Structure 1
Amino acid sequence: MRHHPTHELMTVFANGELPASLSIAIASHLELCSECKNTVESITQQTAEQQLSSVHNTPSSHENNEDDFADMIDNITQDDSLFEIQEAPLQTVEFKGQQFILPRALQSLSLQKQQNLGKLTRSRIELHEGNIKASLLHIEPGGSVPVHTHKGFELTLLLDGEFEDQMGRYQKGDFIWLTGEHEHSPTTKTGCLCFTVSNDALMFTQGISKLLNPIGQFIY
């Protein structure tokens, strides 16, 4: 796995300041990448320590405020029931007769009806985020997307399989962030399933595929 969220993006995620779609993408990546998971845990720990330090340094009119806070923390951490984790059964999704196990961050979301275009199949995830759209995108073996750029940003988290483009080859777990500065044509030999987030349509840039720009909204 060579493609990861930036440290800045993980910091914003840890602080709970990202749109739901991007938070889901990073949370799903963390399930597949122990390196980034450790980074986010470290960021979260540092943020928590800073917040606690701020609380302790704030003047209070109550002399026993600090003792009360310490007692509250002790009571919480001594309750073993808070640490009993019950894992939900893994949820699968089917595209073209093939079953895929979704990351836990995606399992509670409702998928809309699948839409097909050639070797591409998309299922929208409605998160009510205005122009930010999230989807599961499946590409069958031998499928590709014509050369295009992006009017906005496009985030692709590769959940299963592989694909390649002019910039390299990608595998399960890779977190790929592209903008209008990039131009590519994803192609997969064995097929793949991706979680995608974008805030505007594709724009095809070469040959006869330019005539397909009206259907750029299909992938967006």
Structure 2
Amino acid sequence: MIKHHPSEQLLSQYSKGELPATLCMAVSAHLDFCSCCKDKVAALELNQASSAFGENEGTSDLDDFSDMFAQITQNEDIYQAKPFHNEPLSYQNKRVVLPRAIASSSRSKFVQLGKLARARLNIDDGELRASLLQIDASGEIPHHTHTGFELTLLLDGEFSDENGSYVPGDFIWLDGKHHHQPVTMEGCLCFTVVNSALHFNKGLSKLLNPIGNLIY
């Protein structure tokens, strides 16, 4: 069962369209897994619509909106969106259907480093970096903390750290107050968003810290 969800503030910002693109993708993908959060967002959007076009408002705004909508739908030059075909992603001898918000974005090829592999999503979102991350069976990410924040949405498989075990759909938000060493027995696929480098705390991985800003 999913135990980790976006905060109420994030859900509210998502429903208002106020989140950066990469975080919007992460929340949208979580909603594909979590009916509870999906219902919360639907309620938030309904309340916002009621506030904007409620019974107590004058009719002029509604009339203006109706006129605008009629003009848009009568325009035959409007681009018609093509059907979206979500091709499964092959990884670790599996085929996984990604949430549409993630699958619809182009990405680089996976770059393998030991038991880790990362594919960067081609999104210009300021300092935010979004990636698909694979960890092979019996793999781990070295013990680290964060110089900014790290959002991890588990898409497939399992992993655990000092704070517990995670299942697909878990939405894990960590910052400089947290440190952990994710490990997986069976392998996993994650969607990650970070806004700064990781800081490795132990062993040879500490050698990466001086170039952390180049590889985050």
> The TM-score by the shorter chain falls in which range?
0.7 to 0.9
Residues 142 and 214 (structure 1), Cα distance of their counterparts in 2 relative to 1, 3 Å cut: farther
1:68 to 40, 63, 69: 63
Residues 99 and 51 (structure 1), Cα distance of their counterparts in 2 relative to 1, 3 Å cut: same
CA contact under 8 A between 1:202 and 1:219: conserved in structure 2? no
Aligned to 2:169: 173
Aligned to 2:74: none
What per-residue deviation string (whole Å, max 9, x for no partner) do you get for residues 162-210 of structure 1? Answer: 0000011000000000001000000000000000000011100123432
Q: How far did 1:69 drift?
A: 5.5
Where in structure 2 are there 5+ consecutive unaligned residues?
Answer: 71-81
Alpha-carbon separation, structure 1, partners of 2:170 and 2:32: 12
Letter of the structure 1 residue corresponding to residue 197 of structure 2:
A
TM-score where L is the length of structure 1: 0.84
Q: How far did 1:111 drift?
A: 1.2
Alpha-carbon separation, structure 1, partners of 2:185 and 2:93: 18
**Structure 2 SS opposite 1:110:** coil
* Percentage of pairs with the same residue: 45
CA contact under 8 A between 2:33 and 2:169: conserved in structure 1? yes
Residues 3 and 52 (structure 1), Cα distance of their counterparts in 2 relative to 1, 3 Å cut: same
**Structure 1 SS opposite 2:13:** helix
Residues 108 and 12 (structure 1), Cα distance of their counterparts in 2 relative to 1, 3 Å cut: same
CA contact under 8 A between 1:122 and 1:136: conserved in structure 2? yes
Q: What is the aligned length?
A: 206
Residues 146 and 54 (structure 1), Cα distance of their counterparts in 2 relative to 1, 3 Å cut: farther
Alpha-carbon separation, structure 2, partners of 1:218 and 1:101: 31
What per-residue deviation string (whole Å, max 9, x for no partner) do you get for residues 126-160 of structure 1? Answer: 21112110000000000000100011000000000
Alpha-carbon separation, structure 1, partners of 2:28 and 2:151: 14
The answer on 1:8 being equivalent to 2:14 is no
Where in structure 1 are there 5+ consecutive unaligned residues?
Answer: 58-63, 76-85
The answer on 1:95 being equivalent to 2:91 is yes
Aligned to 2:134: 138
Alpha-carbon separation, structure 1, partners of 2:205 and 2:69: 63
Alpha-carbon separation, structure 2, partners of 1:210 and 1:71: 60
TM-score where L is the length of structure 2: 0.85
